[in-house]
Structure 1
Amino acid sequence: MEKAPSGPLKGLRVLDLTRVLAGPTCTQMLGDLGAEVIKIERPGAGDDTRGFAPPFWPNTQESAYFLGVNRNKKSLTLDIAAPEGQEIIHRLLETCDILVENFKVGALAKYGLGYEQLKAKHPGLIYCSITGFGQTGPYAPRPGYDALIQGMGGVMSLTGEPDGLPQKVGVPVADLFAGLYGCIGILAALRHRERTGQGQQIDIGMLDTSVAWLANQGMNYLATGENPPRLGNQHPNIAPYQVFPTKDGHIVLSVGNDPTFERFCKSFGCEQLLADERFQTNANRVANRDAVTEALTPVMQSRTTAEWVAALEERKIGCGPINKLSEVFADPHVQARGCVVPLQHASGETVKVIANPVRLSGTPADYRIPPPQLGEHAEEVLSGLLGMSAAELQALKDKGVV
C-alpha cells in the first residue's frame, strides 16, 4: 500500500508536464518533500528518458536515467493535443496548486494551457516554466540542451587543461541547476501565495541559471574584464588547491590559507619554501602557481594516496582521494548517511535510487512511490481523483487519449 505523504509540502498537488531532466529534477524534489505529483506522459512513448539506455535496471523496462529523477510521482498517459486530453488537464488543475512544464516557449498555449490563459481561472496557480533560454529575449524560441548551455554559459571555457579542448562537466549540471532553481522559485511563490492568495509564473532559463553559478569565476571576470583561463584541476584563486600525483595514484590537496600552508611545509619537510617570497602568501602562490606545482609534486609523489590522506587529516589539512563511483557508493560515510534508498518497483524488482540530500530534522524527505511504469496510475488519477467511470476511462483508452 502506498505510504501517505509526510513531508513539509504534504497536501499540495503538482501537475507535472515535464520530461528529460531539468523539469523532472524540480518535480522529484517537490515529491520528496511531500507533494503529490501527477506526471503527464505521452501515450505509448512516455518521458524520453525511458529510452535513454542502456543501462536498463535489471529485469525491468525502465532506464536507469528515468529511475533517477521520477520517484514519488504518479504516471498518467494523456494526449494533450486531443480536446479530451485538454479537458482532463483543466479538470486536474481544479485540484492542483502547482504546474511545472518544460515545453518550448508558447507550445502549451496552442492547447489553451499557457500561463496567461490559465491565471484568470486559477489565480492561485503557481506555474513554473523551465526552458533553455527563458520566456523572453532573442533566444527564447530556441531549444535548450545541457551541453550547448554549458558551452554558451561559459563553464566549458573554464573546464579542461590549459592546452586542451574546452570540456563539459561530466554530469548534466545545466539541467540539474535549472531544476533546483525552479524548485526554489516554487517554494518562494508558495510563501507569497500564503500571504496574498495569488499565484504567479516562475520563468527559469537554463542559460540564466548557468550564468548565475559561474560564481567566483564570473566575478573574477567582472572585476578584471579578463577571460579566466582554463586551469585543469587547479583553483583560480587559491594555491595549492589542485590534484597532485601520489606514489600510487592521485589526490586532491586543498590548502585554503597561509597558516595551513605553513603547517603543511613544517610537517612534511618543506620549510625552505616558507623563506621563498613566491610562496609566502596565497596571492603570491597564485601568481606563481607553476612554481608551487613544481615544488610540491615530488613531495606528493613520495607517499601513497592512503598515506597522504591519513597524514593530512591528522594535521587538519584539506585533502581527499579521487574516487571512482564504485568507491563512492562503498564509502563508509556515504553509506552511513543513507545516500542510497531501495524501492520496490511495480515490476517486482527492487531498484536503488540516490537519496535526497536535503536532511530536514522534523519533516524529512520520504520515498513513498517508486519511479512509475508508463501510465501506471491512470485509473487512480482519473477514477479516484476525477471520478471517471470505468466506461469513460475505457473510451479514452480506445481513442488513444489515455
Structure 2
Amino acid sequence: MHLPLKGIVVLEFSQYLSGPCAGLRLADLGAQVIKIERPQKGEAGRKLAIKNLWADESSLLFHTINRNKESFTADLDDPQDMQWIKRLIGQADVITHNFRPGVMKKKGLHYEAVKEINPGIIYTEISGYGNDGPWKNKPGQDLLIQSLSGLTHSTGNYDDNPLPFGLGIADYLCGNQAVQFILGALIRKKRTGKGAFLQLSLMEALIDFQFEFFTTYFQSKRQHKRSAVSNGHSLLSAPYGIYKTRDGYIAIAMMPLQKLNAAIACAALNVFEEKEAFEKRDEIKAIISAHLLTATTASWLKKTQPLDLWVMPVLNWRQLKETDGYKVLQMEQQVQLNDKEITTTRCPVRINGQLFLSAKPAPAVGQHTENIKATLSLKL
C-alpha cells in the first residue's frame, strides 16, 4: 500500500501521551516519525507503566503508542548534539512537542528559531492549558484537566461524586486534533509553500469535547444535571441510559416511551406522555429500572430488536472479543518485539478497503541515531 504521508518527516519532541498519540497516527499514515530523546534514559513515557506491565525496559503503554517510530538521542544542552538537531530540522516537515510553555524556548527550539532554519516547517505545540494565564505552568495531566474542565460532572448519576472519564481522553483527543490540523497545514504547504505554527491544549480539547454542555449552559445559565437513575447523557430524556437486568445490563438509547413500552410491556409507563420524558425522567427511569430487573438481558433483546429499537447488551472486553461483530472488524494486530509478539489495536481507518498494519515495534533508546546521522551526512 502507498501510504499517504510517505516521505513526510516528523520530529517528535514529545513525551507521555498527547504528542506521541499524534505521532502514532502520523506514522500509521506513512510518515517517518523520529522521536528526539534524552541519551540513555529516553523520554519519560518509557517508565509510565499501566498495571505495572512491561514489554522490555520500556512499559507496555509506551510500546502501544510509539510503535512504528524511530529514536534519535541528543542532549539539547550539548552544542554538538544541537548541530545534529538543527540539521534534522532542516530536513523535516513537521515538529511536535508537548512540553510546558517556555521549555523549548530555553533550548532555542521555539517556533521563531526553528522557522529561521526551515521556513516551511509545521510546528505543533501541545500544552496543558495554553501559553498564557494563571494555569500555564500547572501540570498538564489528564485527570487534572478533566477535573478542571467540568467533565467529571457528566459521568455517573446525580448523587454520585464527580467521576473521571476513565481513560486519557484529553491526551487522546488533543493528539488526534493535532493530526487533523497538521494534515491541513501540509495541504496548504503543498499549495503555497508556507509553514504553520499550530498551538493546542488539553484544556481546549476537553472544552471542545463538551460543546453540547457548554452551548446549553451559555444559553440557559444553568449547570446541567445528571439523571438520578441510569444517567447516560445529562441533556437527554428518559429512557436514555444503562439498566440492570436479571443477569446483566442493557443500554437503551433515544426512543419514544410508548414505542419502548410496546416491547417491554410495563403497565406503569402508560400514564406518562412523551412531553414528560425529560421533566419526569428520574421517575420514569426508576420505573423502567425496576421492570427490567424481572427478566434476563437475552429476553429483553428478543423483544426489542425485532422492533428495531435502539437497545444493545452491555459487554465487557472478553464478551466483546467473542462476538462476530468484533471479529469482522479485525481490530487486532501483532507487534514484533525481540523474541515475542505484543497484541495491540490497529489504526482504525481503511484506505481503499485495506487495513493499516505494521509489526514494527517502538524503538529502543537511540536505536536509529547513527543511521540518521549517516543519512544527514550524505545530504551535506
TM-score (norm. length: structure 2): 0.92
Q: Does 1:298 align with 2:295?
A: no
Between the aligned residues of both structures, percent identity stands at 30
In structure 2, relative to structure 1, the CA distance for the partners of 1:364 and 1:96 (3 Å cut) is: farther
Which of 349, 356, 359 is matched with 2:340 structurally?
A: 349
User: How far apart in 2 are the matches of 1:198 and 1:297?
Assistant: 58
Which of 366, 370, 375 is matched with 2:366 structurally?
A: 375
**Alignment correspondent of 1:72:** 68
**Alignment correspondent of 2:273:** 280
- Please tell me the residue identity of whatever aligns with 1:372: P
User: How far apart in 2 are the matches of 1:203 and 1:323?
Assistant: 38
Q: What's the offset of the Cα at 1:105?
A: 1.0
**Alignment correspondent of 1:365:** 356
Query: Do the aligned partners of 1:57 and 1:351 also contact (CA within 8 Å) in 2?
Result: no
**Alignment correspondent of 2:213:** 217
**Alignment correspondent of 1:193:** 189
Q: Aligned pairs, how many?
A: 375
In structure 2, relative to structure 1, the CA distance for the partners of 1:48 and 1:330 (3 Å cut) is: farther
Question: Unaligned stretches of 5+ in structure 1?
Answer: 389-402
Q: Report the secondary structure of 1:69's partner residue.
A: helix
Query: Do the aligned partners of 1:72 and 1:371 also contact (CA within 8 Å) in 2?
Result: yes
Q: Report the secondary structure of 1:286's partner residue.
A: coil
In structure 2, relative to structure 1, the CA distance for the partners of 1:185 and 1:300 (3 Å cut) is: same
Q: What's the offset of the Cα at 1:166?
A: 0.6
- Please tell me the residue identity of whatever aligns with 2:182: I
User: How far apart in 2 are the matches of 1:175 and 1:188?
Assistant: 20
Q: What's the offset of the Cα at 1:272?
A: 6.3
TM-score (norm. length: structure 1): 0.87
- Please tell me the residue identity of whatever aligns with 2:365: L
In structure 2, relative to structure 1, the CA distance for the partners of 1:257 and 1:161 (3 Å cut) is: closer
Q: What's the offset of the Cα at 1:204?
A: 0.4
Which of 113, 118, 123 is matched with 1:127 structurally?
A: 123
Query: Do the aligned partners of 2:252 and 2:312 also contact (CA within 8 Å) in 1?
Result: yes
Which of 316, 319, 329 is matched with 2:311 structurally?
A: 319
In structure 2, relative to structure 1, the CA distance for the partners of 1:364 and 1:197 (3 Å cut) is: farther
Q: Report the secondary structure of 2:117's partner residue.
A: coil
Q: Report the secondary structure of 1:229's partner residue.
A: coil
**Alignment correspondent of 1:83:** 79
User: How far apart in 2 are the matches of 1:61 and 1:309?
Assistant: 47
**Alignment correspondent of 1:252:** 251
In structure 2, relative to structure 1, the CA distance for the partners of 1:319 and 1:84 (3 Å cut) is: farther
User: How far apart in 2 are the matches of 1:74 and 1:6?
Assistant: 20
Q: Report the secondary structure of 1:257's partner residue.
A: coil
Name the Cα RMSD after superposition: 2.1
In structure 2, relative to structure 1, the CA distance for the partners of 1:61 and 1:322 (3 Å cut) is: farther
User: How far apart in 2 are the matches of 1:286 and 1:271?
Assistant: 19
Query: Do the aligned partners of 1:39 and 1:74 also contact (CA within 8 Å) in 2?
Result: yes
Which of 33, 37, 42 is matched with 1:37 structurally?
A: 33
User: How far apart in 2 are the matches of 1:377 and 1:306?
Assistant: 54
Q: Which of 34-43 and 300-309 deviates more?
A: 300-309
Superposed CA offset, 1:47-101 (max 9, x none) = 222212243346x333121112111201122212211221111111121100001
Superposed CA offset, 1:109-132 (max 9, x none) = 122111011113311100000010
Q: Report the secondary structure of 1:306's partner residue.
A: helix
Q: Report the secondary structure of 1:175's partner residue.
A: helix
